[in-house]
Structure 1
Amino acid sequence: MKKLPMIALGLAGVLTIGLTGCGLGSGPSGNEDSSPTDGQVKGEITFSTLQLKPTFTDYIEGVIADFEKANPETTVKWIDIPFQGAQEKISTDAQAGTLPDVINLNPNFAQPLEVQGAFVNLDEAVPELREKYVAGAWDAFQVPGEDGSFGFPWYLSSEVTMYNASMFEAAGLDPAAPPTTYAELFDDARTLAESGASAGFTGMHPALENRFITDLGRMGVPLMNDAGTEWTFNTPVAESYVAELAELYQTGVFPSDSLTQDHAKETEAYQAGQIALFPSGANFLSIIEENAPDIAETTDVGPQITSEGGPTNVSVMGLLVPKSSKNKATALAFAEFMTNAEKQLAFSKIVTIFPSVTEALDDPYFMDDSDGSVESKARRIAAEQLTDAQNIVPVQFDDRIKAIVIGKVQLAMNGDLTPAEALDQAVEESNAITGK
């Protein structure tokens, strides 16, 4: 099975694009709601993806060929954009009103243009389709405080908890009972760290940049107000969480050099046998197997860590149709075709992703783990938790906000700020940016 390029995964909140200050073209090719004269599915459209060539050329071209066969009067021109320079290209195309007829974006990429009214409102154009998709994935392309949703969910990523079962057993923990809540996670991590002190491993890695704000959301902390205009995460629950992170770091449950390290370093630490718990996307199982087969041999999986009764997180990639398209009928039909159950299931069988259409998630490929493999178990767990998953991280959590928040939390974990001071300062400084 192929590994999806990390750039294409677009893990929500990781890849952002600075289009907020861009004005959309106001001339004939701007964001007016132009439509084909007869609304029929025919004619040529352009379809743009983010760095899927050459790995998935055969798959994408196959879907295009099937669509053109089913709709003989259509032609789909596929354009693949390298990630390097994508920000500038999308910004330029948006200003000129020359965005492709169907464009592949994640919610962070899409949001600045959604706010400016660049895309067709699917709740108005194709309202009957909403019920076919995972609700949280469809809602990921909403604008806070406004009605409507603007993107067909395409492929999804859902975190599971990978763990070293041998380390669990050595620490006296049940290797068949991984933690499912934050309370269980931190208790197990403490036990593992104590057990591993002489063996050279510890409990887990904080990976703050990748996980902190998502953790707060999974704990039920209100990250922003309903309008998406103010950050609100300086709550007692968040304060207790930061205090626990500080205690875990200062007592050695986290590696001593992990405070400023990211997800890549966490991956390396797990593969090196230095930590026992590794929450991440199921696609990382194949990476572990390739790079550290001895660790893969003892790796098992459990569900995504969340609070008692709390939400699970989903990362989303989608397909959007700009209002500037001269052939929206064909563009909408193609986006629906590309994201239908049959095509998404086929995509999921060549790369570790998950479909956004609930019919595909019910397929035995995701539900049957009777072969006993950890990969099948991970697929089943991830697919089951997608039903009620949400895109937790607000699209406003861009690199500027992330740097502020993570920087303050690092200071608290190091003992230079109290948890309350860190969160209050993070909220105040973040709102100074978001409120502009």
Structure 2
Amino acid sequence: MAKRFSAALAAGLLVTALAACGSTEETPAASGSAPAPDTGTTVTMWTRAATQAQSQRLVDAYNASHKNQVKLTVIPIDNYQPRIAAAAGAGQLPDIFAADVIFVPNYTSQGLYLDITDRIAQLPFKDSLAASHMKLGTYEGKMYTLPHTLDLSVWFWNKDLYEKAGLDPEKGPTTLKEFAEQATTVQEKLGKDGKVHGTFFGGNCGGCYVFTFWPSVWAAGGQVMDELGTKSLVNQSPMTDVFAIYKDMYDRGLSGPTTKEEQGATWTGFFPKGEIGVMPMPSTTLGGMPADMNIGVAPIAGPDGGESTFVGGDSVGISATTKNADAAWDFLTWTVSDEAQVEVMAKNKDVLARTDLSNNKYSAADPRVVLINSLVAKGQTPYAPRFGQTFNDPQGPWLRFAREAVFGDPAKLAELNVAVEKSLVQ
């Protein structure tokens, strides 16, 4: 999760690379000369290491049941964006490539994906595809990507620690204020030995703040930016209210001792050890939790209620220069089919790309998974052309802003917000 947020997009390199791609209207795929589906065509696909497990499962299942074959290449997260840019410049993009959904607008706006608007329109379940992913894959009214993998932010609470602390283990927080109250109780009742803490968060990780704090803003009916992603709203309520609650928890010693230094690499590692009462977590970590650990899952709420989530993960599209558009589309449509979504994704407790399948036979066995799947329709994925340099870059203005809000002087936020907004429009 931390790695997902670690690098800013090499936009300048992509601009240069695009010149070498040529017009997509002149590619064989666009002229209709691509081979027919499932005739034994091999297509190439790239994905980030962050989604390797899910991508590999989908590819393996498809290859086992089709004449067409997908050759998957997994690329280290930090190398992924430069690799895409270099391949675009050399005219050597794979037939299919996935991308962190937050960076998809950079690729669509620079013509690296094939327009698949007409193909998507023919899908009978098109209106059930994850709305946030579809929104960021749309550029100037045309659609270029489908949801590939989804990762949502939720609240986990440790039911065993809650019971030991005298809390009702079946009642997690429904507001951010309740979150703080329950974290306080765990800390006061169980934290004397220094091993158990009320909560934890990534205090030196810009992407962690985005993933776990912003949903509380959305749940409260607020926004962090305007729709164009060029005006920052993080210096006003409800963002400042959310920061104030977390600052109070930190000041009162409710969070783990390494909270302030946590850069994201290990921020999800403390809860599985049974050391944390309640904290925001990626939904994808649920399947990897200890089998004997009693965990509750709740939607992230605002200070006084509401529900939301950060809909992260990857989208996937067909490269603009492919010669195998039909075969590539055959794979893409299969990945969002009932078979793939239920028998591959749901079977492994992954979040589904389709809201109409959220209560399937596998998910129904675990109410927590049903809850997580239901949040896809309530969550958001923010759009900003300069998202990476502003919010993900550890040297960017957002991390300075967030750390001042939680560990420093909130009176400086108006000044620091100027730098955030300047970065959004540079």
Q: Please classify the TM superposition score into its range, dividing by the shorter chain length.
A: 0.7 to 0.9
1:406 and 2:396 are equivalent in the alignment: no
Taking the aligned partners of 2:69 and 2:278, their CA distance within structure 1 comes to: 48
What does residue 113 of structure 2 align with?
119
What does residue 296 of structure 2 align with?
301
Taking the aligned partners of 1:399 and 1:275, their CA distance within structure 2 comes to: 32
- Deviation larger for 377-386 or 77-86: 77-86
Supply the AA of the counterpart residue of 1:413.
V
What does residue 47 of structure 1 align with?
45
- Deviation larger for 389-398 or 202-211: 389-398
Choose the corresponding residue for 2:11, options 16, 19, 35.
19
* CA deviations over 1:155-196 (Å, ceiling 9, x no partner): 212333222223212332211101122121112112222223
Cα 1:254–1:123 change in 2 (3 A) is same
CA contact under 8 A between 1:155 and 1:356: conserved in structure 2? Answer: yes
Matches within 5 A, 1:70-219: 76-83=70-77, 85-129=79-123, 130-143=126-139, 146-200=140-194, 201-208=196-203, 209=205, 210-214=207-211, 215-219=213-217
Local SS of the residue matching 1:319: strand
Taking the aligned partners of 1:103 and 1:84, their CA distance within structure 2 comes to: 16
Cα 1:44–1:270 change in 2 (3 A) is closer
Taking the aligned partners of 1:426 and 1:406, their CA distance within structure 2 comes to: 10
The alpha carbon displacement at 1:84 in A equals 5.5
Supply the AA of the counterpart residue of 1:141.
G
Cα 1:426–1:63 change in 2 (3 A) is farther
Cα 1:85–1:386 change in 2 (3 A) is closer
The alpha carbon displacement at 1:237 in A equals 1.9
What does residue 60 of structure 2 align with?
61
Percent of counterpart pairs with the same letter? 18
What does residue 361 of structure 2 align with?
364
Supply the AA of the counterpart residue of 1:317.
D
Matches within 5 A, 1:365-404: 365-367=362-364, 369=365, 376-392=366-382, 394=384, 396-398=386-388, 400-402=390-392, 403=394, 404=397
CA contact under 8 A between 2:9 and 2:389: conserved in structure 1? Answer: no
Aligned length: 405
CA contact under 8 A between 1:140 and 1:390: conserved in structure 2? Answer: no
What does residue 266 of structure 1 align with?
267
Cα 1:14–1:388 change in 2 (3 A) is farther
* CA deviations over 1:25-53 (Å, ceiling 9, x no partner): 43575544631435662555333233477
Cα 1:272–1:350 change in 2 (3 A) is same
CA contact under 8 A between 2:401 and 2:417: conserved in structure 1? Answer: no
CA contact under 8 A between 2:54 and 2:149: conserved in structure 1? Answer: no
The alpha carbon displacement at 1:112 in A equals 1.8
Taking the aligned partners of 1:173 and 1:378, their CA distance within structure 2 comes to: 20
CA contact under 8 A between 1:103 and 1:319: conserved in structure 2? Answer: yes
What does residue 247 of structure 1 align with?
248
The alpha carbon displacement at 1:314 in A equals 1.8
Taking the aligned partners of 1:421 and 1:358, their CA distance within structure 2 comes to: 42
The alpha carbon displacement at 1:298 in A equals 4.4
Consecutive unaligned residues of structure 2, counting only runs of 5 or more, are none
What RMSD over aligned residues (CA atoms) do the two structures have, in Å? 3.1
TM-score (ref. length: structure 1):
0.81
